[in-house]
Structure 1
Amino acid sequence: MGVVSTRPYDRRAAVSLFSRLRTAAGQADPFPFYAELAARGGVSPAPWGGSLVTGFDLCDRILRSREWIEPDASWRERQGAGTRWNAPSSREMGRTLPALNPPDHTRVRRAAGGFDRTTIQDMGRMLDQVTVRLLDDLTEQLREGEADFATLVSEELPVATIGHWLGLPAADWPRLRDLTHEQVFTQELLPSATQLARSDAATAELRAYFVELVRSRRARPGDDPVSRWIQAWDAVEPDRDEADEQVYLLALFVVLAALETTSTLLTMTALRLVERPERWNLIASCPDLVPAFVEETLRYDPPTHVISRVAARDTVLEGTEIRRDEMVHLMVAAAHRDPARHHDPDLFDPLRKPAHLAFSGGIHYCLGAPLARLEAQTLLRHLTQRLPRLTLVRPPAWAPRVAFRRPLNLDVAPA
């Protein structure tokens, strides 16, 4: 809160900044553009409406505050039929756990459960086996000179992990992975009409798949999360069709969250490792630093660069008046480079004390954070202990996104 002030706003310059951010150069290294944005102030107007927040402490405070809520289904409906928020894929996302506000969020999160210690231990044993197999495949490919780490490992490990856990047929995994990459466009900062159409189509196919999954698990329940979610919802929801709909939404959310951002985290962790030989040597000789290396990767270049919230009531942020229902975009990747929070923030330093917002915060703290950390740590340990040092062959190409980072390849070779 504070006194409202007026600041000069150069909309043309702001539009130019985001246009440059969406170029190949901006996709490859958005941080100079974030620094330019942060120089305009901790809160600045977005060219398309709403506000942009770049300071770490303010982003953290907003994520933890009940005064800032998710753009849920009712908010999306209020934006109007002709907006991107009312695309079929956006409306469907507005019904999933990350877009819910209390009391709906509380009810669904309770039914979802979480990754407790026993579950993580069980998944850890499976993760070790899958990681070893994938690194064997990588080693075989490296005998020919170079290999794409992203395709062979980063894209495969998350879908195998969540596929095993949910009991999904392995033959379905590649299609689910491709659909996830298409669906995420509706969650982007500024999706184009073409991207929204691709997301709509992917969402419809994902819905058909998981609705059928729930139907089959209800008919033949087993010892798997979907069957347990059915039991949990049956205990609180007398309408069986509504219970099945809620289980479908949980399954959809879990797969989307587990595949998209985790694969990016794995690729970025490997990128940070292979781009400097001293980093590989450090982790190989000091495996106890693996958790800190993963946390610094999450700070340095997180899978999600933007998190959006809307004001629950009229308020003021650092002199900027925000009206009820107005959206703020938390530029968390920029906040991670805030010099007020981190000394020498542009330096990748696995020895620094970790502090980041990569898993959001408050009641919407990422449900799958323990699993994402486990996958990245398991991969990093096996990679540095089983293989000789690898080196980066060429810089990766990037998907055309702003909010959700995705390197399309990571070409590596023996050093």
Structure 2
Amino acid sequence: MAQSDDQQFLTLPAEAATTARQRDPFPWFRERHAESPVRYDPDRRSWDVFGYAAVKRVLGDPEAFTSNGSMATGGDLDIIGTSLINTDPPRHDRLRSMVESFFRPGAIADLESDVERIASDLLDEAESEMDLVEEFAYPLPVMMIAELLGVPTEDRAQFREWSLGLAGDTDLVDPTTVNTDRAERIQGELGVYLTDLIEQRKADPRDDLVSALIEEDLSEWDLLGFCALLLVAGNITTTNLLTNAVRSFSDAEDGEAIHEDLPAATEETIRYRAPVQAIARYATRDATVAGERIEAGEHVHVWLGAANHDPTVFDSPEMFRPGREVAHVGFGHGIHYCLGAQFARLEARVALETLYDRYPNLAVVDGEHPPVTSPFLHGLRSLPVRLE
């Protein structure tokens, strides 16, 4: 089975590509766990890994399962394709060591007041009913990233188009196909935008992350790749986390207990409705995962969302239950564990505290809420709420 098709690999399995299953993938996860923790999909010519232990096995072995996009696609890479997220050791370790200090708990703690200010400003503009995604969950992380990087917040609509486009989400997308031309166009536009920004900061340094990164020993390409990764990954995932949290809180049985411990409820959201559902790997050598032999050269689709619903690990996984003792893999596992995980947690906690302190009886408006249609993300395009 070593032959693979790169374009098919990057798509959703056909049975998971329906609107209903993108909105609520839990029944599909249940079906997959009942069948096997690992399976080969001949239609996409790739492996899917669903089980908790199997997911950690793949993500914990970067030598056997690389995130290097050039090996996975067989082609030239763009700025994000050569960034930290798609790099193996030793280059990965060198790059991560240069930037991780900016995302340690002590460094991001200073951002709490900024998150609270932005959240309050957004709620000041809200009326009795609002679209949580459009008016709160999307603009908040984009405005935070914009302030960190030192880019104009008025460009946030453009940032969203780029982020959703690179994640494969669009109103017209068919999640069983890949629009490579669109992705290449967006990468080009993003590269030009960030190159101009970096040149501006070299000429006129400011108190922002781009100016600070310029002082690090990063190559021009690595600096460009990290800024692109932060701009894209740093906003759309937090948008989905906030949206998924409000949705999950609304469906939970004990809303009062949730509001009393929002950090625990937020952590359970990351397990229950992981903003990033799946990530890609490529086998560099023959390896056995959950009894299945994956050959060198084959593609692997690692399902974080399914692993977080593994019934052999999580009791009643389809129940939203804050305070679980088993660690989820919603932020990944291994050397590529999300660099911005603590930042995302802080943003979500402060934003949700601000939201529910002001509107403790906030209610989701019933309806068929349209899902994000990316093959890798889980969230909603729209979530109307009543502010009470």
TM-score by length of 2: 0.89
User: What is the root-mean-square deviation of aligned Cα atoms in Å?
Assistant: 2.3
2:108 paired with 1:132? no
Q: Which residue of the other structure, out of 148, 152, 156, is the alignment partner of 2:139?
A: 156
Structure 1: how far apart are the matches of 2:106 and 2:67? 34
Question: Contact 1:275 / 1:391 at 8 angstroms: preserved in 2?
Answer: no
State the AA in 2 paired with 1:173.
R
Task: Write out per-residue CA displacement over residues 216-250 of structure 1, whole angstroms, 9 at most, x where no aligned residue.
Answer: 1111122322122222126xxxxxxxx22221111
Question: 2:8 aligns to what?
Answer: none
User: Once the two structures are aligned, what percentage of the paired residues are identical?
Assistant: 30
Question: 1:25 aligns to what?
Answer: 20
Structure 2: how far apart are the matches of 1:77 and 1:268? 31
Structure 1: how far apart are the matches of 2:33 and 2:92? 32
Q: Which residue of the other structure, out of 355, 360, 377, is the alignment partner of 1:404?
A: 377
Question: Contact 1:189 / 1:306 at 8 angstroms: preserved in 2?
Answer: no
**Which secondary structure state, in structure 1, belongs to the residue aligned with residue 325 of structure 2?**
coil
Seen in structure 2, the aligned counterparts of structure 1 residues 360 and 68 have a Cα distance that, compared at 3 Å, is farther
Structure 2: how far apart are the matches of 1:189 and 1:115? 35
**Which secondary structure state, in structure 1, belongs to the residue aligned with residue 344 of structure 2?**
helix
State the AA in 1 paired with 2:187.
T
Question: Contact 2:242 / 2:348 at 8 angstroms: preserved in 1?
Answer: yes
Deviation at 1:190, TM superposition (A): 5.8
2:213 paired with 1:226? no
Deviation at 1:336, TM superposition (A): 0.9
Task: Write out per-residue CA displacement over residues 329-373 of structure 1, whole angstroms, 9 at most, x where no aligned residue.
Answer: 111111111111111111111132252111111111111101100
2:255 paired with 1:283? no
TM-score by length of 1: 0.84
Question: Contact 2:244 / 2:269 at 8 angstroms: preserved in 1?
Answer: yes
Question: 1:8 aligns to what?
Answer: none
2:232 paired with 1:256? yes
State the AA in 1 paired with 2:124.
D
Seen in structure 2, the aligned counterparts of structure 1 residues 96 and 329 have a Cα distance that, compared at 3 Å, is same
**Which secondary structure state, in structure 1, belongs to the residue aligned with residue 13 of structure 2?**
helix
Question: Contact 1:306 / 1:403 at 8 angstroms: preserved in 2?
Answer: yes
Deviation at 1:73, TM superposition (A): 4.1
Structure 1: how far apart are the matches of 2:228 and 2:176? 21
Question: 1:175 aligns to what?
Answer: 158
Question: Contact 1:332 / 1:358 at 8 angstroms: preserved in 2?
Answer: yes
Structure 2: how far apart are the matches of 1:219 and 1:374? 32
Question: 2:314 aligns to what?
Answer: 342
Q: Which residue of the other structure, out of 245, 254, 260, is the alignment partner of 1:269?
A: 245
Task: Write out per-residue CA displacement over residues 113-138 of structure 1, whole angstroms, 9 at most, x where no aligned residue.
Answer: 33123421221111111111112223
**Which secondary structure state, in structure 1, belongs to the residue aligned with residue 88 of structure 2?**
coil
Larger radius of gyration: 1
Question: Contact 1:53 / 1:329 at 8 angstroms: preserved in 2?
Answer: yes
Higher helix share: 1
Deviation at 1:166, TM superposition (A): 1.1
Question: 1:372 aligns to what?
Answer: 344
Structure 2: how far apart are the matches of 1:414 and 1:162? 26
Question: 1:14 aligns to what?
Answer: none
Question: 1:116 aligns to what?
Answer: 104
Task: Write out per-residue CA displacement over residues 298-354 of structure 1, whole angstroms, 9 at most, x where no aligned residue.
Answer: 100101111222223212222211112322211111111111111111111113225
Deviation at 1:414, TM superposition (A): 4.2
Q: Which residue of the other structure, out of 177, 184, 189, is the alignment partner of 1:205?
A: 189
Larger deviation, residues 99-108 vs 30-39 = 30-39
Q: Which residue of the other structure, out of 355, 378, 381, is the alignment partner of 1:383?
A: 355
Seen in structure 2, the aligned counterparts of structure 1 residues 344 and 77 have a Cα distance that, compared at 3 Å, is closer
Question: Contact 2:258 / 2:322 at 8 angstroms: preserved in 1?
Answer: no
